[in-house]
Amino acid sequence: MKEGWNELKELFESKRSFEEDFELENGRYISHCLGCDKDFVGHECRNMCKLCSEERLKQLRENERIAADMEKQSLIKEEFYGLSSGDIVEHVSGGGLYVITADLGKHKLCSETIDIYNPLEWRLISKQSITIS
């Protein structure tokens, strides 16, 4: 009996438990965390312990920050519609570089670029002529 009491006391004092819920109606439920698979005490509606909830919240905030950064880097509609053949764009999340090959108005065709450096691996198929006036 004494041993069980100590386990319960440890559970209530655990960093995984929500002390702020204890005074609420149904705030002292022993639940099983969906994140770490350990028991904690808190409101009956909670399904994650305090540590996992805080970690999850940190991840959500980081995802929001990344989304906001991507939005800052991305083109506005007018800039996108103004892209034309030869322009080079970078996907904000994937990072790949693409050369616009055709302007279809609201849609663009593009081809992915790759880094090449060894002349022995390549042969010429056609060469674009450049006229300098």
52 binds Zn ion (CB under 5 A): yes
Minimum Å gap between C-beta 33 and Zn ion is: 3
Applying CB under 5 A, which part among 17-25, 26-34, 90-98, 113-121 lies near Zn ion? 26-34
92 three-state secondary structure: coil
| Nearest-angstrom CA–CA distance, 32 and 16 | 11
Minimum Å gap between C-beta 56 and Zn ion is: 9
Minimum CB distance to Zn ion smaller for 52 or for 110: 52
SS (H, E, C) 10-36: HHHHCCCCCHHHCCCCCCCEEEECCCC
49 binds Zn ion (CB under 5 A): yes
Q: Which residues bind Zn ion (CB under 5 A)?
A: 33, 35-36, 49, 52
